[in-house]
């Protein structure tokens, strides 16, 4: 029961903080250009060029994170395929009726390339 209350409080905190951030950004980008520059409200907001630069930076970091994740998945899949192929080659070399040491070594060296 306390876990549910804790999760609900966390959800309300996340919802309220994201709503406040959205309202702040909306006022910063859509309302502030129409307010005179000598008003005190301009002191509460950063320069207007940051309204474009910060989302662009966040988007670039998101694209970078997705690219890194995709490359890690592809490299892991390549490694798994390599290990399966090596295991199959080793099993084939060991199950041949007249598989000597040279056949086993050649099978291992053929499949050891990554």
pLDDT, tens only, 86-101: 777 777 766 666 656 6
Name 108's Cβ contacts closer than 8 Å, sequence gap at least 6. 86, 89, 90, 93
Would you say residue 27 has pLDDT above 80? yes
Write down the domain spans for the chain. Answer: 1-45, 48-114
pTM higher than the cut 0.85 = no
pLDDT, tens only, 51-65: 999 999 999 999 999
């Amino acid at each position: 029961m306390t876990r549910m209350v804790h999760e609900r409080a966390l959800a309300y905190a996340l919802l309220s903080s994201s709503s406040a951030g959205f309202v702040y950004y909306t006022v910063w980008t859509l309302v502030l250009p129409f307010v005179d520059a000598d008003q005190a409200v301009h002191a509460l907001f950063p320069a207007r060029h940051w309204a474009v630069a910060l989302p662009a930076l966040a988007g670039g970091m998101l694209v970078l994170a997705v690219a890194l994740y995709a490359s890690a998945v592809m490299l892991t899949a390549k490694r798994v395929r390599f290990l399966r192929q090596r295991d199959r080659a080793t099993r084939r070399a060991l199950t041949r009726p007249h598989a000597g040491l040279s056949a086993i070594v050649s099978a291992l060296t053929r499949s050891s390339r990554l």
